[in-house]
Structure 1
Amino acid sequence: MKQGSRTIRYDEQLHLEAYSFEGVAQSFPQHFHAYYVWGYAAQGERLLTCCGKQLTLAAGETVLFNPGDDHGCVQSSEAALHYLALNVPPETMARLAQELTGSEQLPRFAPAVVSDREAAYYLRSLHALIMNGAQAFAKEEALLLLASLLLERYGAASCPAAAASDTAVEKACAYMQEQFAQRLTLENICRAAGLSKSSLLRSFTRAKGVTPYRYLQTVRVSRAQKLLESGETPATAALLTGFADQSHFTNTFTNFIGLTPGSYREMFLKAGREYE
């Protein structure tokens, strides 16, 4: 029987594990874990037994297992399983719960299988960030967005949004505008704004229409444009605007602008030569 590919990565910054199964046809007997499992079926269909209930996990659906939930599954379609998941230890979940609800009480999620496009999108996005070794800021933000959504919709208790003033959001913006070249973290920005991480994330996104991380990326790309326009090299622009490395700078800049930093710089150099 073809075993398919399996990839696992432990993220030391988020304190959780991401893994993927692709092309896997094997069955999994009833078992349980000491941690939460948030999973997404990208392909394939499984007959799932969880806590005595018979369920179907179809492509596009998400599973939510609590610590101690017994579960097992068998393949029920011709397509082999392609499955992405996050294993979240209770201590990591407790920190998330404290941040998002003000209490470290561990939640219980239900039902075990949900059809939720938004939850699936956030889970896939976070999984990709971890697998690709993204910066801590982007990963932490993605984790908070996912955990907040799951707690609000499927947790034992709702997670009401905390109130925050426009002044606090503007403080966060000002801090990022001033310190964009530094290695910023979500904690740095929250301290400057005087808000908790969850409060800032909700209030900032509501007020600005983008997350704090996307806002910071926009500031950095905007400043890099000015540097490139003045003739600075892409390497120097990346260094002066706080990007982790040249590859990250090039990818982000290209995604935002539609041109590589080198091509963008060349446009202005060419324009300058034309006017000499």
Structure 2
Amino acid sequence: MSNWTHQNTKLWRVPEFDNLEVFRAQAIHHSYARHAHSGYSIGVIEAGVGGNSYRGTTYLAPPESVVFMNPQEAHTGYSAEDRPLTYRMLYPSVGLVQQIADEVQIKGFPYFKDAVVQSKGLTRNLVSLHVVLERSPDPLEQQSRLVEVLAATLLHYAEVKTRATGLQREHRAIAQIKEYLHENFSSTISLDQLVELTNLNRSYLIRVFRQAVGMPPYTYLNQIRVEKAKQYLSHGLSVAETAIAVGMSDQSHLNRHFKRIVGVTPGHYRSMSISSKN
């Protein structure tokens, strides 16, 4: 298990829960760049006020509130009102959430309509789960608590949608661009290449991509590279080697984008990931 660092953040994974990522931050000031997650984001604000731009609206989450974000929905995040922010996050995969939804007879794609929820009971249950995942050496306790809390959360706070409406329908060109960026993230990619791929003019291409995805293509590419970097770093690759592997120009380039999206430096992330395995 990793320890608190000078940056007051802690990260670890629970492999048996589809590599569930768990994060805790204490009294930090940080602004996250616009990004999205492949899975769900469920957080509890313990102190300070959490702010984020999400679905075209600015949300403020006061202490003891819960934040929900759905897969592939772009958002920012920051400590609002110039106050340090303390919070806990769970990042369950779509597969894990869907599995638990199926077990409690939720048919369809679970979708959280409300970005911020104020419920002392929900907050208490999520904090309890987070502490168990951090401290308990008993796998049965961890497994039971996770299933119990996520099942209750889905039953009370998630709507049911088909996957097509739960995730934004994409223009065919958007799907082409995303696939191309995922397949070629380690290469230098130009706007002309995307124009040739889609037969769209440059201005229209950028506009429809931003409208559909919530960010322009270059921001989406940086997000892919950071997600790949997390994988490489967690497997022990050095920061310098990782920067090259994901197509960043150098280590400082990776540091800048990684910190803006993840909230910690690549070296910090690598240390926490490796120590959480021990």
Higher relative contact order structure (alpha carbons within 8 Å, sequence separation ≥ 6): 2
TM-score interval, normalised by the smaller of the two chains: 0.5 to 0.7
Contact 2:129 2:146 (8 Å CA) reproduced:
yes
CA displacement 1:67-109 (0-9 Å, x = unmatched): 0121112322343111101100111112111111264x33101
Of 63, 87, 93, which aligns to 1:89? 93
Deviation of the 1:3 alpha carbon: 7.2
Alignment partner, residue 60 of structure 1: 64
Deviation of the 1:32 alpha carbon: 0.7
Helix, strand or coil for the counterpart of 2:21? strand
Change (3 A) 1:102 1:83: closer
CA displacement 1:189-226 (0-9 Å, x = unmatched): xxxxxxxxxxxxxxxxxxxxxxxxxxxxxxxxxxxxxx
Structure 2 portions without partners, runs of 5+: 162-278
How far apart, CA to CA, are the structure 2 residues paired with 1:5 and 1:39?
17
Structure 1 portions without partners, runs of 5+: 159-276
Of 30, 36, 53, which aligns to 1:32? 36
Identity of aligned residues (%): 19
How far apart, CA to CA, are the structure 2 residues paired with 1:3 and 1:35?
28
Letter matched to residue 112 of structure 1: A
Letter matched to residue 91 of structure 1: G
Alignment partner, residue 148 of structure 2: 145
Change (3 A) 1:39 1:102: closer
What value does the CA root-mean-square deviation take over the aligned residues? 2.1
Alignment partner, residue 123 of structure 1: 126
Deviation of the 1:48 alpha carbon: 1.7
Helix, strand or coil for the counterpart of 1:101? coil
2:159 counterpart of 1:156: yes
CA displacement 1:209-245 (0-9 Å, x = unmatched): xxxxxxxxxxxxxxxxxxxxxxxxxxxxxxxxxxxxx
Of 75, 84, 87, which aligns to 1:71? 75
Alignment partner, residue 48 of structure 1: 52
Change (3 A) 1:31 1:102: closer
How far apart, CA to CA, are the structure 2 residues paired with 1:113 and 1:93?
19
2:22 counterpart of 1:5: no
Deviation of the 1:34 alpha carbon: 0.4
Change (3 A) 1:102 1:27: closer
How far apart, CA to CA, are the structure 1 residues paired with 2:92 and 2:46?
20
How far apart, CA to CA, are the structure 2 residues paired with 1:59 and 1:134?
29
Length-normalised TM-score, structure 2: 0.52
Contact 1:20 1:84 (8 Å CA) reproduced:
yes
How far apart, CA to CA, are the structure 1 residues paired with 2:54 and 2:128?
26
How far apart, CA to CA, are the structure 1 residues paired with 2:139 and 2:109?
24
